[in-house]
Structure formats: C-alpha cells, structure tokens
C-alpha cells in the first residue's frame, strides 16, 4: 500500500515551538494547553496575533521542531510493509523548504528523496493519507486518517488516530 | 481538467545553461546540439563528466534558467479552462528548492503556491501529465504527454508534443 503522511502536527510539532516563542516575546504561559477546536492564535492577545505569521515565515522556524512521539519508530514499522511518502503543504512558506528538507534528513534519514513531497494542494494518488487538516481530504480518494490535534478535536465523521500507536493499530 | 506540468526541459531550460557552464570550464562548444537519445553528459569528455553533478547541486543553478519558448503564454491559456499544477522532481537536489520556487515566482507569478509541487516520485492524481521523462509516467493513470527533449527523441509509444504550440493543440 502507498501511505502518505503529513508533517506538521503529525510527525513534527510546531505548536510547542510557537508557545515557546510567544512566551519569549509576549509572556504567554509555557504550559498553555489549547482548547479543543482552537488554533494557537486563538490563545494569543489580538495585538500580538501577527507574530504567528512572522514566526512561521522566519528561516529556521521549522528546522528544530520536536518530533511527535512515536513517529520515527512508527514510520520505520510502516516502511517494512508499505511505501511511505511524506507529503507536506510546505509551499505556503518559501522559507520552510530547506528547513523541512534538513529536518527530515536529520530525523528520518531512512526516507529517500523520492518519497518526499512539498506541495500546496495534496493532489496525490495514495491508499491512505494521515493528516490533521480535513481540507487535505477533500479530493482524496483513498482512506483518510485524521491525526488528532487540538484544532481538529471538534470535528466528527472521520476515522481518527490520537497517537502513532493508534496509527499502527489502524493500518497494520 | 487537472493538468500537471513538469519544470526542467518543459518550462525551464537547464540544457543551455549546462552548455554555457561546460563552455566556460571545459571548452565545450556553445552551439553544441545534442544527438537524439543523448543526455548532456554524453557530449562531455569523461574526465569532466562529474561537473554535471557539481553544477546542478550548486546554489543558483536553477535560479536563472531560460524559460522554454511559449510556456508562459501556454500555461496562461490552459489556466483559462483547467486547473494547472507544476510538478517538479526538485527533491533530488536540496539546493534547487528555493531557486525553483523563486524562478516560478518570477516567470509564472500567476501560479499560486497551492498549485506547485516539489517531489520525488510523481504520485499525483491528475488527468494529464506533461513531462520529458517517461519514468514519471510509470504509475500515472491519466493521459501522459511526452514533451520532446534530445534525450527522449528515440522513445516511441507515447503521445508526443514538440512545442508549447503543440501542447495547446493537443489539449484545447
């Protein structure tokens, strides 16, 4: 089977980095927990909301994101039986391209360049797509797996996985 | 219809740049015409063959490539009726990512980030794929259009387009 896997909030964790930067610049608490259905910018005073855009467009933002727990072992496990592709909507942020490439090379060196895709719309042909954004499932003809993230917790009607353990259970 | 379009040798011309660099460094004639079926490296003395790899991995190589004649007007014409995506196997060359992004922004500013894809394998869901490499047609379920380039001139069995004029005639 061909399995496509999103990056942000599925294998990489930008949220904790946002919170760290907001803490540094705006005094937002480091232990901030996002309410279900909320994006990070819902938790920040309006006046500093635009920081989000500054952070994410900065060179280096995506280079040192923490890896989502279980993602490395999970993808290695999937690769034993399946063709695994990383499919990230990186094209929205020009300065994320090299950072994401280098981040993957550091943490997932066993994924070859043939299996990496930076795109906008995810117009891919695959059997499974693991993603935290349902907009990416719109035209997808395979089986979508919604990877839980605070912002999507109020969404129903999709097969949901909360952790990489659950991903493996759902697929293998 | 969804139409996917390759970059190198379809809308961008790396060959003339290779020849210019080989001329500068190795005295290869500037008016070099590639024999049908040949890649650029077939026309270069073996001793300097590795230059190809140096050139293509250098920052800036893809930034100032000439645009293939007719590509800009051709894509604008296709966009009037169809969804056009740029799909480049850029992932092979890490240092090409920003250059290709900036090159597209300069010459094709009417193509939005949602419609750009840098990948390895072209595992895309589209109705038409215009490409000069038949390896990219292997798993493609739509209609492949082989865009002529010296290296593919001996290949038969594919619908072939020699120019952007012919692309428009084949699709519209």
Q: What is the pLDDT of residues B17-72, one digit of tens each?
A: 999 998 888 888 888 889 999 988 888 877 777 788 889 999 999 999 999 999 99
Mean pLDDT of A93-120: 98
**Does A63 lie at the interface with B, CB-CB under 8 angstroms?**
no
* Residue A83 is a catalytic residue: no
Question: What's residue A51's pLDDT?
Answer: 83
Please compute Rg for chain B using Cα positions.
16
Fold classification of B2-13+67-171 (topology level): Rossmann fold (3.40.50)
Report the candidate in B172, B152, B168 with the shortest Cα–Cα distance to residue B36. B152
**Does A115 lie at the interface with B, CB-CB under 8 angstroms?**
yes
**In chain B, domain spans:** 2-13+67-171, 14-57
**Cβ-Cβ contacts under 8 Å, A112 against chain B:** 120
**Cβ-Cβ contacts under 8 Å, A139 against chain B:** 125
- By Cβ distance, the residue of B2, B98, B118 closest to A123 is B2
The interface predicted TM-score of the complex, written ipTM, equals 0.94
The domain A2-13+65-171: what is its CATH number? 3.40.50.1000
Instruction: Burial-class residue B121 by CB neighbours within 10 Å (0-12, 13-18, 19+).
Output: buried
Which of the four pLDDT bands, split at 50, 70 and 90, describes residue B142?
A: very high
Look at A120 and B114 and tell me if their CB atoms are within 8 Å: yes
**Cβ-Cβ contacts under 8 Å, A124 against chain B:** 123-125
Interface test with A, best of B113, B115, B140 (most A CBs within 10 A): B113
Question: What's residue A40's pLDDT?
Answer: 87
Q: What angle do CA B87, B38, B170 make, to 5 degrees?
A: 45
In tens, the pLDDT along B85-135 reads 999 999 999 999 999 999 999 999 999 999 999 999 999 999 999 999 999
Question: What's residue A53's pLDDT?
Answer: 86
Measured between CA atoms, how close is A33 to chain B, in angstroms? 31
- By Cβ distance, the residue of B97, B112, B139 closest to A98 is B97
Which of the four pLDDT bands, split at 50, 70 and 90, describes residue B15?
A: very high
**Cβ-Cβ contacts under 8 Å, A117 against chain B:** 91, 117-120, 123
Report the candidate in A106, A96, A97, A18 with the shortest Cα–Cα distance to residue A55. A18
CB neighbourhood size of A99 (10 A)? 19
- By Cβ distance, the residue of B92, B101, B139 closest to A94 is B101
Strand, helix or coil for residue B30: coil
Measured between CA atoms, how close is A29 to chain B, in angstroms? 34
**Does B127 lie at the interface with A, CB-CB under 8 angstroms?**
no
């Amino acid at each position: 089977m061909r399995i496509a896997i999103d990056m942000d909030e599925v294998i990489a964790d930008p949220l904790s980095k946002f919170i760290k930067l907001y803490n540094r610049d705006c005094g937002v608490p480091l232990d901030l927990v996002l309410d279900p259905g909320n994006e990070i910018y819902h938790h920040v005073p309006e006046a500093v909301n635009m920081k989000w855009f500054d952070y994410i467009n900065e060179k280096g933002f995506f280079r040192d994101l923490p890896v989502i727990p279980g993602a490395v072992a999970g993808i290695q496990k999937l690769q034993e039986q399946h063709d695994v592709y990383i499919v990230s909507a990186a094209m929205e942020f020009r300065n994320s391209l090299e950072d994401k490439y280098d981040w993957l090379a550091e943490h997932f060196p066993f994924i070859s360049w043939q299996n990496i895709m930076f795109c906008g719309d995810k117009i891919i042909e695959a059997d499974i797509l693991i993603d935290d954004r349902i907009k990416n499932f719109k035209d997808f003809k395979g089986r979508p797996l919604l990877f839980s993230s605070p912002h999507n917790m109020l969404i129903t009607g999709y097969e949901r996985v909360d952790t990489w353990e659950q991903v493996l259970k759902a697929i293998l």
